[in-house]
Structure 1
Amino acid sequence: MGATTTIDELDRSILGILQEEGRITNVELASRVGLTAPPCLRRMRALEEAGVIKGYHAELDPGSLGYGIMVFALVSLRSQAEDDLRAFESHVATLPEVRECHMLNGEIDFILKIVAHDLQSFQSFLTSKLTPAPNVASVKTSLTIRTSKTSCGIPVDPA
């Protein structure tokens, strides 16, 4: 199942359920999509091998692990040459506090989602790891006050 392979309605049902309930048993998944266990498992494995399913994870509560704040950082680089973009991305990939990194079109080059234990630790991260990063011209930050929606994954539309 590559980019040109069709994902049918059964595959979409499997994907939608797995995205919401990653720990569901194969037997329960098969029952919910109207298959027996062996063909359901084959479909799931094919979706994994094709890279449609990229992995499984547990959603953790940041506060329970002491991460009290989340910040979005808008980063502008001095140069947008491909090597410079990749150098910045490589640096950011080494920073566990950066949970997401997206390159943007327009005036801002990257938006980062960053978690920190508190404002002091974020300030330390900002001045010691982010602003001195390769090619960084400026960083504008916004502290999250409240999160009203968090949805992992993507909408799985019917076929």
Structure 2
Amino acid sequence: MDRIDKKIVAELQRDGRLTNVELADRVGLSPSPCLRRVRLLEEAGIIKGYRADVDRAAVGLTTTVFIEISVDRHSKQNADAVQERLAAIPGLVSCHMVSGNADFLAEVVVADHAAYERVLTEHILTMEMISNVRSNFALRTICVQQPLALSE
């Protein structure tokens, strides 16, 4: 990625609905070369997609929970099984395999504590290889998805 590609990515992170003409103007290119670069960035997998940023509270999802999950018997089979089951959880926003006290860190967004209790009892605690679950409820969101700072 050269300097222009990084500018294109930065502008699209700020506003994914920019027209090609607007984007070209912002990065100092004419529309045709700009569109070619965007398509190459998409084909290379650098730009993975475009999506709407939904206000969680406006759609009734007011509770964010960060769940630390520890696995009892470490094996590739258990890790694969946990990953598959976690990916199917309703309201899952992100999930990471991590180092430290827990093995997985999942972010789940639900309507309320009762909805989270259902996620916990129906999806997480039903996994026999889970040894420990720790739920951390977000009190306030400070920052959400800032654009990646790509160095020049």
TM-score of the superposed pair, with normalisation by structure 1: 0.91
> Structure 2 vs 1, CA of residues 62 and 81 (structure 1 numbering), >3 Å: closer, same or farther?
same
Does 2:141 align with 1:155?
no
What are structure 2's unaligned runs of at least 5 residues? none
Aligned to 1:143: 137
Decide which moves more: 125-134 or 50-59.
125-134
Aligned to 2:4: 10
8 Å contact from structure 2 (residues 71, 132) kept in 1: yes
Residue number among 51, 60, 79 corresponding to 1:57 in the alignment? 51
Aligned to 1:3: none
1:156 deviation in Å?
A: 2.2
How many aligned residue pairs are there? 152
Corresponding residue SS for 1:84: helix
Corresponding residue SS for 2:41: helix
Aligned to 2:79: 85
1:133 deviation in Å?
A: 2.4
Counterpart CA distance in 2 for 1:8 and 1:24 is 21
1:152 deviation in Å?
A: 4.3
1:41 deviation in Å?
A: 0.3
8 Å contact from structure 1 (residues 71, 141) kept in 2: yes
Counterpart CA distance in 2 for 1:96 and 1:155 is 31
Counterpart CA distance in 1 for 2:118 and 2:59 is 19
Offset from partner CA, 1:47-105 (integer Å, 9 cap, x none) = 00000111111100111111110011100001221121111111111123111101111
What are structure 1's unaligned runs of at least 5 residues? 1-6
8 Å contact from structure 1 (residues 70, 113) kept in 2: yes
8 Å contact from structure 1 (residues 18, 24) kept in 2: yes
Counterpart CA distance in 1 for 2:147 and 2:72 is 32
Corresponding residue SS for 1:108: coil
How much is the aligned-residue C-alpha RMSD, in angstroms? 1.2
Counterpart CA distance in 2 for 1:86 and 1:153 is 30
Decide which moves more: 89-98 or 70-79.
89-98
Counterpart CA distance in 1 for 2:50 and 2:129 is 34
Aligned to 2:41: 47
Counterpart CA distance in 1 for 2:128 and 2:80 is 10
